[in-house]
A and B are shown apart, each in its own frame.
Chain A
Amino acid sequence: MKITFDWLKEHLKINSKEKDLLEKLTNIGLEVETVENLSSGTELFKIAKVIKTKKHPNADRLKICDVDIGKGEFKKVVCGAPNAREGLITIYAPPGAVIPKTQTKLVVAKIRDVISYGMLCSESELNLSDESEGIVELSTSKYQKKIGHRYFLESKTNTIDLSITPNRPDCLGVRGVARDLAASGFGKLINSKEKKIKSNIKHSLKVKINKEKNQGCSVFGSCLIENVKNTESPQWLKDKLISVGQKPISAIVDITNYVMLDINRPLHAYDADKIEKGLIIRNSKSGEEFSALDNKSYKLEKDMCVISDANGILGLGGIIGGTRSGTELDTKNILLESAYFKPRSIRNTAKKLNIDTDAKFRFERGIDPLSIEEGLNKAAFLIKEICGGEISKIDIQKTESYKINKISFNPSLFEKISGFKISNREMIKILDDLGFKSKKERKYFSLTIPSWRPDITQEIDIVEELVRISGFEKIKIVDPIKERTRSTLTKSQKLFHFLQRSIASKGYLEAITWSFSDSNYNDHFKGKCEDIRIVNPISSELNVLRNSIYSNLIMYMRKNLDRGFKDLSIFEIGPIFTGPNPGEQNTVICGLSAGKKSRLSWIDKERDIDVFDVKRDVVQTLVEAGYSSEKFFIDDKTPKYYHPGKSGRLFLNQDKDQAIAYFGEIHPNILKKIDLKTESLVGFEIFMDNLKLTDKTLNNQKRKFEVSDFQKSERDFAFIVSKDLKAQDLINVVSNIDQKLISNIRIFDVYEGENIPENQKSIAINITIQSNEKTLNDNDLEKINNLIIKTVENKTGAKIRS
C-alpha cells in the first residue's frame, strides 16, 4: 500500500514532519517498508549541447555527435535523429539512466562498431509528449547557461510503501491510514464532506441479484452517467496516481482507481451501451467461459459470482472485469458499479482460477459495506467534472442488510493483558477516534464497531487497538524468574544431544540437509517404503520426503568429493519418514566416511577406510551413551543398499527386538549409478527411536563397584573352525563357560590359507582368567583350560590347534 505525505494531508490536519510520520506509522502497526523519492533517477538527465556531428562510417542515418555535458566534460554519442545538429541544446542521458518510457537502463553500447556513451532523448522517450520525431530541442536563450544542469526538477514527494497486515483492509485506503494516525495523536482527521447525487434522471438499466445459495454478492449499487467524453486525465490526477506508483490510463479508469486508493472503495465502470438488457449477478455454471481485462480467457467452475447480461458473462464480481464491456476513450455512456462481495466467495474463486488483482486483494480482506454510496458519489461527481455527462439516480440492489455489530468490553481486561494502565477516559478517546461509538454501561463499555473494521469481533480485539494506539513502549518489562520446576530435556532429547556430539567427536562433520529429497536418489534407499510425494514440490529434484538420510547425504558426499576432497566424514541427525501422516517419522543419526585412513602419512601405513572403522564408531558411540557392548548382538541381514558381505546390523541384545543400527560398505552398484568416485565408502544408521531408554538415574544405572585383586592369568588358544563360524558365536560360547572366572576375551588373529584345511579357518583368542575369591593354582587353571577347549570343540565343531 503506497501513500504520500501530501495525499495524507488531504485527510489529516498536521504540522509535523515526514520523518516523525514514518516513525509513527511503524509504531502503530502500519509498518513502513520503503521510502522512495519520486524523482530519484531523474537527476541523471542533463541539459547538453551538441558541439559537432559527423556521419557514422557504417550507417547512413546515424551520426556521431560530440556532446558538451557541462563542467568541461564531452561525450561521444551515436544518434539517429534527423534534427541532431551542431549547436542544438537538448537532453542527454548517461549510461545508468533509466528511460522513462521503456524503463530500460542505458549501458555503454557499440553501435555498428562505434562506441556510444549514453543517448540524446526525444520527448516521447521522456514521457513529455508523444513527439518521437527527433530529439528534444531546447531554446538556446533559455538553456544556454544551464548546460550540465539537471533537466527535471527535483521532486520533494516521497512514496511511502506500507506493509498492511491482512486484518486491516481499512488501511488499504489513504483515509484509513489518516484515521489511525489521528487516533494516535498524530494530527486531526479532517471531516470528509460528502456530496450526494441528487438527480431526476431515471436509472434505465435493470440490475438484479439472483437469490441463490452461496450468492457471493450481497449489495450492488450503481448509477448511469450518460453522454460523457472520456479523455486523458488532468495533470493533478495523473500526478496523484503516479505518486503512488499507478499508471494513468484514461479519466474514467483513473477516477475509479483514485477513489479506491483514497477510501478503499473498489469500483468498476462498464460501457453501458455494451450491456445487453440489464445486469444479472448470479452464480456461474460449470464450464462457462469469459475473457478478462488481463487478456486471458477463464473457464469457470460452478458457483462463482459473476456479473452477466443477456449475452453472457461481463465480469467476475469483485475480481476482474471483462473485455466485452470495458470502457474506452470513445465510451459515451457508463454504468458505475459499487458493490459488496463476500470475502469467502472472492477468495475461493480467485484461488481456483489463480487470479490476483487489486480488487480481489481488497474484497477478500473485507470492504466497508457502508461505503457503496460514498464511492458512487465521489466517482460520479469527478467523472462529471472531468468528462461531463449526466448522472442518473443511484440504484441499490440488496439481498442482505448490513447489521450493526456491537461488543461489550470490560475495561479491566486491558491491564490484565497489557500489564499497564490507562484511564477509562483515554480508552474512550482512542476508540472514538478510531470510529467506535461508545456508551458506558456500569462496568462495561458498549461499543458499536465501525463498518470498516471487519477484524473486530471480540474483547481482545479492543485490547489490541488500545495497546497499539497507546504505544507498545508503555509495556513495562517484568524480569523473568530464574526457577526450574521441570527438567529442560526429556531422556530422549538428552540422548539425541549426546549421540549428536558423540558422533561428531569421532571426526564427523555435522550436516543439515533438507527433509525432502530427489526421488532418483531416494529410490536407492527407500527399501519397502512407498514414495511420500509432495504435491507441490519446489523442484522435481526435491519431490519426495526422504525415507533415509543417505538419500541426501550421499549426494552431498559426492559433491564434496567432486570438490577434490578425498577423506571425508559427514553425518546428519534428523527425521526420516515412513509414511505421509503426522508422526510417521523416526529420528536417525546417519554418517558416511569416504577415502583412506592415514593417507600420505610418513609414519603410518595408509589403508582404505573399512567396515570395522564404521563399526567402531557405532559401537563406541552406543557404549558412550551407556549401552553395554557385551550384550550387543550383530548379524549380517542388512538392506540392499549395503555391500552384502561387508555390512551388519546391531541389536542391543540377543532378543533381537528391533535393529538399533546398520553399518557397512555402501553397495558398489549405487556408487556406480550416482557416479561417486572414492577408494571406499562406508556408512551407518542408528535408529534413535529403537534405543530403549532407562528410567533409572545415572547413579542407579551403575553396578556396585567390585574388583578382584587376586592374580589373573592370560591364556592363548587357537582353534580351527568352520569358515562359516561367526566370531561372535565363539566368544559367546567361551564367555558362557564360567562367567565368574572368564573376565575378558580377545580375538588376536584370524587366519585362513596355508596349513589350514579348505573351508576352515583359524581363530586365535586370548582369555583372561581371574577369580574374585582366591588366587588360582596350576590345578585350577588346568581345569578351566581343559573345560574351554572341550566346550568350544563340542559346541562349535572346532579343533584346538596343536
Chain B
Amino acid sequence: MSDLKKIKDDFLLKLEKKLSLSEINEIKTNLFGKNGLISSQFKKIGSISESEKKKFASELNLIKDELQNQINSKINEIQSEEINKKLKKEKVDITLPERTFVQGKIHPVSQTIDEISSIFSEIGFSVEEGPDVETEYNNFTALNTPDNHPARDMHDTFYLDEKKEKLLRTHTSPVQIRTMLKDKPPFKIIAPGRTYRSDSDQTHSPMFHQVEGLHIDKDINMGHLKGCLNYFIKEFFEVKKIKMRFRPSHFPFTEPSAEVDIGYEIKDGKIFIGEGDKWLEILGCGMVHPKVLKNVKVDSTKYQGYAFGIGIDRLAMLKYGINDLRAFFDCDYRWLNHFGFDPLDVPTNYRGLSR
C-alpha cells in the first residue's frame, strides 16, 4: 500500500467517528497544515521522476479533495447541530400579542364625498369649491331668491353682520354662481362641501354637507338630468336597478324643478335601496333658471342645463346604515372607529367604491 492510500484510509476512518469541532480542526492541521501529511506529499512532487509525476500528482489531488470534502461536511454537520441546539433554547410563546398598533380611520362623510367624486368623475364632472362664508348676493339674490321671496324663510340662515350681507352658505348652490362667473360655458362640475342652517334637532344639524351638480351646455335637457341622476344613484348604492321618482317641486333657482325619491323597503330592520314600495326623498334638482343664467352672464338662448343638490350626510346614513345624524359631528371615538373607513380604502372606479 502506498503512503497516500494509507493516509487516506487512516484519516477517513478517523473522520467517521463522532468528533468535536476542535478535533476536526486538529485533523485538518495534521493533513493540510504547513507540515501536514498532505502538504508534505505535495512538496515531494518536485523530486519525483517525470514518468511518475503525473500519476502521483493526480492521485494526490484526488485524495486531497476527498479528505477536504469529508472534513467540510463534517464541520457543516456539527455547525448545524449547534444552531439547532441554540434555536431550541430560543423558542418563544408565539401566541403572545404583537407589538401594539393603531389604526386610523376616514370619516364616513369624507369617504362618501370621495365615492361621489369618483362616480361623477367617470362621466366627466370635475370638482369645484367655494367659501363657507358667502355674500347674501351669491347665496340668494343671484340664485333668483330676492329678499322678499318667501323661499328665504325655508333657509334658517346664520348671519355674520347686522346688515345680513354676509352669511354662512345655506347650500352649495353659490358655487354654481362662482363657477359660472369665473369661466365660460360649457360647465360640468360638482361641488361638495359644508353648509349651514340654524336648525337643530334629531334630523337637523346646524352644519351638514351637500354636493351641488351643474351641467350647462348647448342642448342639455331634462332627459340628461334624469339619466345623470339615475346613473349616479345606481352607482352609489351599488345596485343594478333603481326605482326612482321625479316629483314636481319648486326651487327659485331652477325651473322646472323636481324632488327625487328612491324606492326602498325595510327587511329585518335593514334598509334596502332600489326595491319596495316606500319612497325616500334624497335630492332636489331642476333646469337652471334663465334668470340665474342671466345673473352670471350666460346667454340662456344659447346655453341651458341642469343643477342638483344632494345631502351627503343622508346618503352616507342610507348606504352605511347610520341612524343618527347628530353623531356625525359628535366625535365619539367609538363611533368614529365603528363607522370610519381604513385610509387605504380609497374609492376608485376600477376596484369599486367599497369593499
Give the docked Cα–Cα distance between A765 and B328 (Å): 49
Q: How many angstroms from the CA of A235 to the CA of B140 in the assembled complex? A: 47
Contact between B159 and A535, CB atoms less than 8 A apart: yes
> Which residues of chain A (448-500) have a CB below 8 Å from chain B?
458, 460-461, 463-464, 467-468, 472-473, 475-490, 493, 497, 500
Instruction: Decide if B331 touches A559 in the complex (CB within 8 Å).
Output: yes
Chain A: which residue is nearest B105 at the CB level?
A: A509
Contacts of A488 in B (CB 8 A): 117, 120-121, 125-127
Q: Are A556 and B331 CB-contacts (below 8 A) given A458-B290, A484-B124, A580-B160?
A: yes
A612: chain B residues within 8 A (beta carbon): none
- Nearest CB of B to A513, in Å: 6
Instruction: Give the contact-size bracket for chain A.
Output: 35 or more
12 more contacts with CB within 8 A, not counting A504-B343, A567-B102, A582-B133, are: A29-B250, A31-B247, A166-B151, A364-B148, A479-B231, A480-B124, A510-B104, A512-B109, A542-B206, A553-B331, A570-B331, A599-B100
Query: Does A468 contact B248, Cβ atoms closer than 8 Å?
Result: yes
With known contacts A31-B249, A419-B223, A538–B160 Cβ distance under 8 A: no
Q: What is the minimal beta-carbon distance from A646 to any residue of chain B, in angstroms?
A: 22
Interface membership of chain B positions 246-265, coded 1 if the CB is closer than 8 angstroms to chain A and 0 otherwise: 11111000011111000000
Contact A582 B166 (CB under 8 A): yes
B16 interface contact, C-beta 8 A: no
Distance in angstroms from B187 CB to nearest chain A CB is 11
How many angstroms between the C-alpha atoms of A603 and B93 in the bound complex?
12
B331-348 Cβ-contact flags toward A at 8 Å (1 or 0): 111101100100110100
- Which chain A residue lies CB-closest to B138? A582
In the complex, what's the smallest C-beta–C-beta distance from B88 to chain A, in angstroms? 22
- Asked if A569 and B104 sit within 8 Å, CB to CB, the answer is yes
Of the candidates A460, A484, A505, A567, the one whose C-beta lies within 8 Å of that of B343 is A505
1/0 per position for B168-199, CB-CB distance to A under 8 A? 10000000000000000000100000101011
B269 at interface by CB-CB < 8 Å = no
The reply to whether the CB of A577 lies closer than 8 angstroms to some CB of chain B is yes
Bound together, the chains give a CA A638 to CA B131 distance in angstroms of 27
Known: A467-B256, A477-B227. A418 touches B124 (CB 8 A): no
Selected contact of A535 from candidates B154, B162, B228, B255, CB within 8 Å: B162
Evaluate contact between A483 and B104: CB separation under 8 angstroms. no
A29-B248, A569-B104 given; A468·B256 CB < 8 A: yes
Contact status A29-B249, CB under 8 Å: yes
Known: A489-B117, A535-B159, A537-B158. A585 touches B124 (CB 8 A): no
Interface residues of A in 360-405 (CB under 8 A from B): 364-365
Q: Which residues of B contact A27 (CB under 8 A)?
A: 247-248
The reply to whether the CB of A204 lies closer than 8 angstroms to some CB of chain B is no
Q: Which residue of B is nearest A165, CB measured?
A: B250
Contact (A489, B126) CB under 8 Å given A467-B248, A507-B102, A509-B337: yes
Complex: how many Å from CA A426 to CA B318?
A: 40
Looking at A418, A473, A534, A563, the one whose CB has the most chain B CB atoms below 10 A away is: A534
Can you list 12 A-B pairs with a CB-CB distance of less than 8 A?
Answer: A419-B223, A468-B248, A481-B124, A486-B124, A488-B117, A510-B105, A510-B336, A538-B158, A545-B133, A560-B333, A569-B102, A570-B333
List residues 233-278 of chain B with CB under 8 A from any CB of chain A. 245-250, 255-259
Chain B, Cβ-Cβ closest to A564: B333
The reply to whether B248 and A28 contact each other, CB–CB distance below 8 Å, is yes
**Given the complex of chains A and B, what is the CA–CA distance between A463 and B287 in angstroms?**
11
Q: Which residues of B contact A166 (CB under 8 A)?
A: 149-151, 153-154, 250
A343 close to chain B: CB less than 8 A: yes
Are A482 and B123 in touch, CB under 8 angstroms? yes
Q: Is the interface of A mostly helix, strand, loop or mixed?
A: loop
Q: A538-B200, A575-B194 are in contact. Are A582 and B256 (CB under 8 A)?
A: no
In the complex with contacts A534-B159, A535-B162, A602-B97 CB distance below 8 A:
yes
In chain A, residues 307-328, which have Cβ atoms closer than 8 Å to a Cβ of chain B? none
Q: Taking the complex as formed, is A291 at the interface, i.e. its CB lies under 8 A from any CB of chain B?
A: no
Most buried by A among B99, B117, B131, B256: B256
- Say yes or no: A565 contacts B333, CB within 8 Å: yes
Contact B346 A501 (CB under 8 A): yes
Contacts of B162 in A (CB 8 A): 535
Closest 10 CB pairs of A and B: A29-B248, A419-B223, A507-B102, A165-B250, A556-B331, A419-B221, A504-B104, A504-B343, A472-B246, A488-B121
* B132 A480 Cβ-Cβ under 8 A: no
Please, which residue of chain A has its CB at the minimum distance from the CB of B134? A582
Shortest Cβ distance from B246 into A: residue: A472
CB-CB under 8 A for A343 and B226, given A29-B247, A506-B104, A569-B102 = no
Question: Is B222 touching A512 in the complex (CB atoms < 8 A)?
Answer: no
Residues of B within 8 A of A347 (CB): 148, 150
B contact patch SS: mixed
A584, chain B: closest CB distance, angstroms: 7
How far, in angstroms, from A488 to B328 measured CA to CA in the complex? 27
Interface size class of B (residues with CB under 8 A): 35 or more
Residue from A482, A503, A510 with most neighbouring chain B CB atoms (10 Å): A510
Q: Tell me, yes or no, whether A26 is within 8 Å of chain B by CB.
A: yes
Q: Chain A residues with Cβ under 8 A from B127's Cβ?
A: 488-490, 493
CB–CB B340/A480 < 8 A = no
Nearest CB of B to A474, in Å: 10
Complex partner residue of B148 from A344, A463, A583, A584, CB under 8 angstroms: A344
* Residue of B whose beta carbon sits closest to that of A347: B148
Structural contact, B227 and A479, CB atoms closer than 8 A: yes
A residues less than 8 Å from B328 (CB atoms): 512
Can you name the residue of chain B whose Cβ is closest to the Cβ of A476? Answer: B223
Counting CB contacts under 8 A, is A110 at the interface?
no
Cβ-based interface call for B107 (8 A): yes
Separation in Å of the B219 CB from the closest CB of chain A? 8
Q: Judge whether B73 is part of the interface by a CB distance below 8 angstroms.
A: no
B210 lies within 8 A of chain A by Cβ: no
Return the chain A residue nearest B328 by Cβ. A512
For the complex, what is the distance from the CA of A468 to the CA of B151, rounded to whole Å?
20
When the two chains form their complex, are residues B104 and A417 in contact, meaning their CB atoms are under 8 A apart?
Answer: no
Indicate if A2 sits at the interface (CB-CB under 8 A). Answer: no
**CB-nearest residue of chain B to A553:** B331
Cβ-based interface call for B10 (8 A): no
Which residues does chain A contribute within 8 Å of B337, judged by CB atoms?
A: 509
Please give the distance in Å from B130's CB to the nearest CB on chain A. 8
Please tell me if B110 contacts chain A, counting CB pairs below 8 Å.
Answer: yes
Residues of B within 8 A of A500 (CB): 106, 110, 343
Min distance, Cβ A750 to any Cβ of chain B, angstroms = 26
Contacts of B131 in A (CB 8 A): 582-583, 585
Question: In the complex, what residues of B have CB within 8 A of residue A538's CB?
Answer: 158, 198-200, 206
The smallest beta-carbon distance between A497 and chain B, in angstroms, is 7
- Tell me the nearest residue of chain A to B149, going by C-beta: A166
Cβ contact within 8 Å between A417 and B227 = no
- The answer to the question of A604 belonging to the interface, with a C-beta cut-off of 8 Å to chain B, is yes
Also in contact, A482 and B122, with CB within 8 A (given A504-B343, A509-B336, A538-B206): yes
Contact A464 B255 (CB under 8 A): yes
Given the complex, which residues of B lie within 8 Å of A419, measured CB to CB?
A: 221-224
Q: Hey, which chain A residues are within 8 Å of B230, CB to CB?
A: 477
| Contact bitstring A18-42, B, C-beta under 8 A = 1, else 0 | 0000000011110100000000000
Max chain A C-beta neighbours (<10 A), residue from B127, B168, B222: B222
Cα A332 to Cα B232 in complex, Å, equals 66
A528 to B225, CA, bound (A): 48
Taking a contact as CB atoms under 8 Å apart, the answer to whether A581 and B166 are in contact is: yes
A286 to B188, CA, bound (A): 52
Cβ contacts under 8 Å, B227 to chain A: 477-480
Asked if B96 CB lies within 8 Å of chain A CBs, one says yes
Residue B42 CB within 8 A of the other chain: no
Q: Is A649 an interface residue (CB 8 A)?
A: no
> Are A26 and B222 neighbours in the complex by a CB distance under 8 Å?
no
User: Is B289 engaged at the interface, CB distance under 8 Å to the other chain?
Assistant: yes
B206: chain A residues within 8 A (beta carbon) = 514, 516, 538, 542
Q: Are A509 and B256 in contact (CB under 8 A)?
A: no
Give complex CA distance A364, B152 in Å. Answer: 12
- Is A167 among interface residues, defined by CB-CB distance under 8 A? yes
Tell whether A532 is near chain B: CB-to-CB under 8 Å: yes
